[in-house]
Each structure stands twice: as structure tokens, then as C-alpha cells.
Structure 1
Amino acid sequence: MAICIIIFVAMQVMPNELSYRLIYLYGMVPIRYSDPQWGVSFGLPEDYYLSFLTSLFLHGNWWHLAINMVFLWIFADNVEDRMGHGFFLIFYLLCGLCATFLQWYFDPRLAIPVVGASGAIAGVLAAYFFLYPLARVIIWVPLFLLPIVIHIPAIAFLGLWVIIQLHDATTSVIFEGVTVDVAWWAHLGGFITGTILYRLFIRNELAEEK
């Protein structure tokens, strides 16, 4: 969280031209890898794949950053407790890498940077979904300007989240001309990766107690 916030704030105080350049350099631009000549003509270095990782620490605006950090703050600590700091970091980065790869695979001609921690966080959500399905998630609903607080099971909250991601991702593929401003496939890629890998990163608590 600290890395994402510091990088975002630093880029806000940079000149716009430099910030724009860094977003294209370190954000994952799918067409850059589908059509290398595009990247060269745009002034980007060839054979540069680090952006699949660095894009996880960049965000487009304050709202994008805030949403991701809130989800990370709510769900990540419990998962990290079960994995340990080191294993959690590896798990987080692997989910993010697979997420950006899936986004590239399904939208290889996209010419704008894909940025954000959403794909990696989706992997964390998957781990939480299976580790704490009956845990209660607190949701604040602004109903007629009144702060209505609802407690719902994590399995219901995250299940609905997955359905929304799947709907929007498939809609963007099936129907041409649909405006896509969210990396839905990255979200699904991260969640699928987290579903597959989370068991491999859970600490053996019985062994640790001995």
C-alpha cells in the first residue's frame, strides 16, 4: 500500500509530460507486445517486459488508487497472516503477473496503458473467499444520505464481485464497440490465479507450533 501511494503522489507532482511518459513506459500497453514496431515508433524500448510487474504499482487517478487500497486494507491482512509476509508477497506478485498477462491475451491491440493493483488484489480476494467464506464484510450504503451499514458473508460479497467481472469481461469481447475503461480480464485473471495457487502458500501451522 505504501509503495502504491508514494509512487502515485510522486507522479502527481511531476510535470505532466514526464508522468505521461512513465505511465507508458512502466504501464503494460498490450499492443506494445503484440506489435513491437508500435512500441519502437512510440519511443519505447524493445524486449521490455518488466511493465507486466511495474504496472501493478501505478494508478490512473485518486479514485482508482483509493478503491484498490481499501480492498487491500480490508482483505489482505487476514490472508497475509495465513501465508506469512514473504509467501504473501510472492503470491501477490504472481497473481498480478498472471492478471496482466491475461489482459494482454484477451485485448492484445489495446494501445493505452493497463495500470493498477486490481489484478493482484483479485488474487487476494480469491484466497480470502476460500479461507474465510463465512466472515462478515461490512458495507456502507448511502441510502437517502443516511449511513446504512450492512453485514454480509464474504462468500456472497465476493461471489457477486466475480459475477460482475465475468459479465463485463465477456461483454467487452462479444459486443464490438463497447467502451472498456476497466481491465476486467486482469481482475478475472488475478482471481483465477489466486484460486489455483493460494493453497500452495498457506503456512503449515501445525508444523510451526511443533
Structure 2
Amino acid sequence: MISDWGAVAGRTFRAVRGTSAPVTYGLIGLCCLVFVLGPASGLDPVYGSGNALLAAQRAYFRHWGVIPAELFAAPAREALSPATALFVHGSWVHLLGNMLFLYVFGAMTEERMGRVRFTLFYLGCGYLALIGYAAANDASRQSLVGASGAISAVLGAFLYLFPDARVTSLLPFLFFLPLRFPAWVVLPFWAAVQWLAAGRASQGPGVAYLAHLVGFALGFLFAWLRFGRRAARAAPEPGGG
């Protein structure tokens, strides 16, 4: 069994390394692996079921996630928590939603930035997005996990780099018909929805909409500073989202 897993891992690593966006696909694979092995997936019987599973999930999120009140009370001890929180997700919906956005927008952004720069960009913006959310909720003791801030930064950079790339969108008020719009329409609309949701989320942390906004702004600003006023390169369509 171990040798079989080793062979599968080897083939997966070679496939990822051979793509034009190995960092993006590697991040997707790593987030999925961490989720499946953790208690949030509910797949590992070692965590039990029922109340035992819920207790294991809470302890897991507290250990690897960001707790704003503790982050600023003991910044030296908690300094790594925004980095580890980027790879932890709270549910299957949370994971799959984030990975879909990363899959759609990450590969083209990575190809444009380069692998090393994209890696540093993703981790740095994701870290700062979680810090920004924690600073605005510094009394909260709820665990904050997920790659949403980093992926929002990818969306912000994508908007600057590929404003005319057409993105498939599913709109609820149009019966979820798949329609294609340019990124300069879809992504600002998405950011506006996050802004409105963040304004309504004043009763305490839930979905970290503010982290989405901070990440989006950081991603756009990074792309603008790095690539200046050069015209965005004509881009192929990202395929969906």
C-alpha cells in the first residue's frame, strides 16, 4: 500500500511539474490533501463522529487558524498562524469554492508573473489579508481559516493583467445560465458584492468578506506597481468560474 501511494504521489508530482502553472496546481493539491487528512472532511475515522468530531474540528481550527484576539495579544507566538491558516478549510463547500477560483484565475496569473514571484505574491497577500481582517476584529476569539484572502489577491491581479479576458459566470437571477463577460465586468462586480456583504457582517466574524476585499486590493495594487502602465497582454479565455 505504501509503495502504491508513493507511485501515485510520484506521478502527481511529475504531472504538476510539467504544467505551465505548477505552483497553482500544487497549491490546489496541497489544500485538498490537508483538508482530506484533517477532521473537517469527516473522512478519517480517527477523529470520531458526532460531538467528538465537532470537538476535534474546533481544536484543529484553533491550532492552525488565526484567532484575532490571540494574534495581537501574543504576536511573536502567533506569527505563523496566518500562514498555516491559508491551507486549512472549514468545509467541503469552502474548499471547493476556493479551489475553483484558484483553478480558473491562478494559472494565467502565474504564467504572467513567473513561478517564484507568484508564490511569494500568493503567500504574502494571503498573509496580509488575514492580518487585515484580524486587525478589524481584534477582540474576536473565533478561528479564521481558508485561502480566500490569497485567492482574492489573485483575482485582483488578474483584473489588472487581463481585464478583457472573458469569464464564464453563473448568475442566480438568470437561472444560473452560463454567460461570458470580460473580467473588468465580473471581478469588480464580485468585489462590490464582497463590500456589501462586509458592511452587513457587523455582528461578528462569519465569512471573512473583509479579508477578500483586502486581498483583492493588495493583488490589484501589486500588479499595478509591478507591471506599471504597460498594456495588459491579450489573453486566452480562462475557461470558467
Structure 1 residue runs of 4 or more that deviate by more than 6 Å after TM superposition: none
CA shift at 1:142, angstroms?
6.5
- Contact 2:137–2:205 (Cα < 8 Å) also in 1: no
Residue pairs, 1:164-183, within 5 angstroms: 164-173=193-202, 178=203, 180-183=205-208
Residue pairs, 1:1-210, within 5 angstroms: 1-11=28-38, 12=41, 13=44, 14-15=46-47, 16=53, 17-36=55-74, 47-141=77-171, 148-173=177-202, 178=203, 180-199=205-224
| Partner-residue secondary structure (3-state), 1:150 | strand
| Partner-residue secondary structure (3-state), 2:201 | helix
Structure 1 vs Structure 2 CA RMSD: 2.2
Q: Partner letter of residue 135 of structure 1?
A: A
**Please, which runs of 5 or more residues in structure 2 have no aligned partner?**
1-27, 48-52, 228-241
The equivalent residue for 1:205 is: none
Further displaced range: 20-29 or 51-60: 20-29
Further displaced range: 192-201 or 49-58: 192-201
- Contact 1:165–1:187 (Cα < 8 Å) also in 2: yes
- Contact 2:125–2:153 (Cα < 8 Å) also in 1: yes
The equivalent residue for 1:41 is: none
- Contact 2:125–2:215 (Cα < 8 Å) also in 1: yes
* TM-score between both structures, scaled by the size of structure 2: 0.72
CA shift at 1:141, angstroms?
4.7
CA shift at 1:164, angstroms?
1.2
CA distance in structure 1 between the aligned counterparts of 2:172 and 2:128, rounded to whole angstroms: 35
**Inter-CA distance 172–84: structure 2 relative to 1 (3 Å threshold):** same
- Contact 1:34–1:109 (Cα < 8 Å) also in 2: no
- Contact 1:29–1:110 (Cα < 8 Å) also in 2: yes
Residues 125-156 of structure 1, C-alpha deviations (whole Å, 9 max, x = no match): 00110111111111235789x77221111111
Q: Partner letter of residue 74 of structure 1?
A: V
CA distance in structure 2 between the aligned counterparts of 1:2 and 1:96, rounded to whole angstroms: 17
CA distance in structure 2 between the aligned counterparts of 1:142 and 1:106, rounded to whole angstroms: 31
CA distance in structure 1 between the aligned counterparts of 2:106 and 2:182, rounded to whole angstroms: 17
CA distance in structure 2 between the aligned counterparts of 1:52 and 1:2, rounded to whole angstroms: 19
Q: Partner letter of residue 4 of structure 1?
A: C
Specify which structure has the bigger relative contact order, considering alpha-carbon pairs within 8 angstroms and separated by 6 or more residues.
Answer: 1
CA distance in structure 2 between the aligned counterparts of 1:196 and 1:58, rounded to whole angstroms: 26
CA distance in structure 2 between the aligned counterparts of 1:128 and 1:75, rounded to whole angstroms: 7
CA shift at 1:32, angstroms?
1.1
Residues 150-179 of structure 1, C-alpha deviations (whole Å, 9 max, x = no match): 111111110111111112223334xxxx36
**Inter-CA distance 185–142: structure 2 relative to 1 (3 Å threshold):** closer
Q: Partner letter of residue 147 of structure 2?
A: A
| Partner-residue secondary structure (3-state), 2:119 | helix
The equivalent residue for 2:13 is: none
Among all aligned residue pairs of Structure 1 and Structure 2, give the percentage whose two residues are the same amino acid.
33
